[in-house]
Chains A and B, each alone.
Chain A
Amino acid sequence: MIRLILTRLALFVPTLLAASLILFIAINVVPGSAARSALGIDATPQAIMRFEALNGLDQPLHVQYFEWLGKAVKGDFGRSFQNRVDVGPEILKRLPVTLELALLAFLVANVIAVPLGAIAAYRHGHPADSVITTCATILGAVPNFWLATLLVLVFSLKLRLLPAGGFTPFLQDPARNLTQMILPAVSLGLVSSALLLRIMRASMLEVLSSDYIRTARAKGAPDGTVITRHALRNATIPYLTVGAVEFGFLFGGVVIIEDIFRLPGIGSLVLVGIINRDYPVLIGSALVVTVAVLAANMLVDIIASLLDPRQVHSKSGAA
């Protein structure tokens, strides 16, 4: 079991490095953009050169990369070009917001996808399956930012049930925090749930046609037992493995959702970085979001493996 976790972790680090490289390249695709953005269009070439020298932007790219990476690993993400504030602590302050959003969205998505997907598979060939699958197909095409807008229209403006934005830390006022998080979490999680539902359904269908399900029925097990004791655990394993990718998409959506609901998380920090052309803020927050996505991916993958006895226990001696 330990070996399993360690191998996954071992793959995690190079993937992370690769991601950091891609981000770095993406941001530096057009040379000189950082300085020009920070200083404005009228900046003189001398001002640009001075700025670049000051911030180490005149060095060759690979040197910049390693310097940045070296500092980032220690938690030093530099200072914002806008207001010279340390980026690192700002990211840390915003991290819990994003994590809470992602977690709640993840919960919403699974609470919908797992039972409905299982039911659809179980009732394959009956109307219930068609209805559920059709709803999932339709829901999966809804853009999450549009859904957010519609939810705000209905629940905030018309019904006045939920706030349209803002954030109160959980520890400060749990009730208010949750009412503020409902709409964002639903916007993010509902659309993901559609795809996850289809994955769960496919996984369950495959499991339900296996021989061991027939064995369970041949023992006289009632349908409920067949599903809960025999089918679910087996179906969850491929569900998590395949669904891990979707969890990544879900996480990527925080960038937009945080913006819509004015949540002070890392996603919105990315946008701040973009709008202000604030290069350290942008690359720092983008990296942290990516780390979170990859970590979530890896975690789900590990959980899936741990659920599978074939991966955890090796073959013992035969008799």
Chain B
Amino acid sequence: MTVECNSSATLEISNLSIEFPGRTGPRRVVERMSLTVAPGEIVAIIGESGSGKTLTALSVLGLLPRQARIRSGSILLKGHPLIGLTAQERRSILGNRIAFIPQDALRALNPTLIVADQVGEPFVLHRGTAWAAARCLAVELLRSVHLRDPEQRAKEYPHQYSGGMQQRAMVAMGLALEPELLIADEPTTALDVTVQAQVLALLREVREEHGTAILFITHDLGLVADFCDRVYVMYAGRVVEEGPVEEIFVSPRHPYTYALLSATPSVGERTPELLAIPGQIPQPHELPEGCAFAPRCVRAEARCSVDPLFDTGGAHRTRCWFPERRS
């Protein structure tokens, strides 16, 4: 399949496959994954743990664990390939054009450096700014993420912040150089509901003011409904359904998506817990022939032993031989 160079898309992943070495041969953990994120779009990847969503995000950053291998596929940032970069090229992009907001902000912050030093570091690394100036810029960044009394907070250490403040500091750090793409890996999972709302509002602001594209990794359906424009549903390393949020939620077509939505008490509510689908996500070396979801699927038939292709459903596509009809 030829890759179209759509340089208007901020992020374009095509047919990405990632594998880990194993005793009996390599284990495929992400299988031919494709997605795009346009400038100013908020795109979600949703799935359970083990679905490959975090690995996809890390592969964009080039921060995969050492044993992981990108088997095939391409990742383009505004048309520029991200795979095969030299270490120096990659370093000039990270923190500069792409920012990363991880899940646990406290652990992602250096306990022995003051927040100003950490938030201001991107300026020093990429723009050659002097530290004193960088710290001033850090204070302004902290102000822009609505941290009260930023001059004082800037001089403090991460452990002195509350959870919400820490995450906002991470956002500030990510925004420092006005990146084109923001990758957020479950940024609100560790926070309680009101703080979650604040952080999400902040991210929405970022999108409004800077036109930043956001790739949002989560397992929380409710969040996706409120916050994102498009969503990719992943299962066992593959995308099984993709499309605009409203369409997916109103008429899910893949049995897995359907089951996800049914398992959630109400779409408006957000729960950290997820599935009540019988069975478990298969391990990479236990993947069945054909459709990965077949063993747990109520609609499965003999045909499902062949891996389904995407139906040509336009913006809303699914990988299933028996998708629900669109209403």
Asked if A and B form a direct contact in the complex, defined as CB atoms under 8 angstroms apart, the reply is: yes
* Interface check A71, CB cutoff 8 A: no
* Interface check B104, CB cutoff 8 A: yes
Interface 1/0s, chain A 98-138, versus B by CB < 8 A?
00000000000000000000000000010000000000000
* Interface check B78, CB cutoff 8 A: no
Using Cβ atoms and an 8 Å threshold, which residues of chain B touch A237?
112
- Which chain B residue has the least Cβ–Cβ distance from A319? B148
- Which chain A residue has the least Cβ–Cβ distance from B95? A219
Using Cβ atoms and an 8 Å threshold, which residues of chain B touch A94?
none
Which of B41-49, B153-161, B207-215, B238-246 makes up part of the contact surface?
B153-161
Residues 204-230 of A contacting B (Cβ, < 8 Å): 210-212, 214-222, 225, 229-230
Residues 264-293 of B contacting A (Cβ, < 8 Å): none
Using Cβ atoms and an 8 Å threshold, which residues of chain A touch B162?
318-319
Contact (Cβ within 8 A) B107 A218: no
Interface 1/0s, chain B 112-153, versus A by CB < 8 A?
110000100110011000000000000000000001110001
Query: B56 to chain A: closest CB distance in Å?
Result: 15
Using Cβ atoms and an 8 Å threshold, which residues of chain A touch B108?
211-212, 214-215
Which of A171-179, A257-265, A309-317 makes up part of the contact surface?
A309-317
* Interface check A67, CB cutoff 8 A: no
> For the complex, what is the distance from the CA of A268 to the CA of B236, rounded to whole Å?
70
- Which chain B residue has the least Cβ–Cβ distance from A209? B65
**Per a CB cutoff under 8 Å, which of B153, B161, B173 touches A219?**
B173
Contact (Cβ within 8 A) B109 A315: no
* Interface check B63, CB cutoff 8 A: yes
> For the complex, what is the distance from the CA of A219 to the CA of B94, rounded to whole Å?
5
* Interface check B191, CB cutoff 8 A: no
Q: Using C-beta atoms within 8 Å of the partner chain, give the interface range for chain A.
A: 20 to 34
* Interface check A234, CB cutoff 8 A: yes
Query: A120 to chain B: closest CB distance in Å?
Result: 16
Contact (Cβ within 8 A) A234 B100: no
* Interface check B22, CB cutoff 8 A: no
Most buried by A among B104, B159, B161: B159
* Interface check A154, CB cutoff 8 A: no
Q: Given the known inter-chain contacts A212-B107, A215-B100, A220-B125, please indicate yes or no for A308 contacting B92, CB distance below 8 A.
A: no
* Interface check A79, CB cutoff 8 A: no
Contact (Cβ within 8 A) A319 B93: no
Q: Which residues of A contact B (CB under 8 A)?
A: 125, 210-212, 214-222, 225, 229-230, 233-234, 237, 307-310, 313-316, 318-319
Q: Which residues of B contact A (CB under 8 A)?
A: 61, 63, 66, 90-96, 99-100, 102, 104, 107-113, 118, 121-122, 125-126, 147-149, 153, 156-157, 159-162, 165, 170, 173
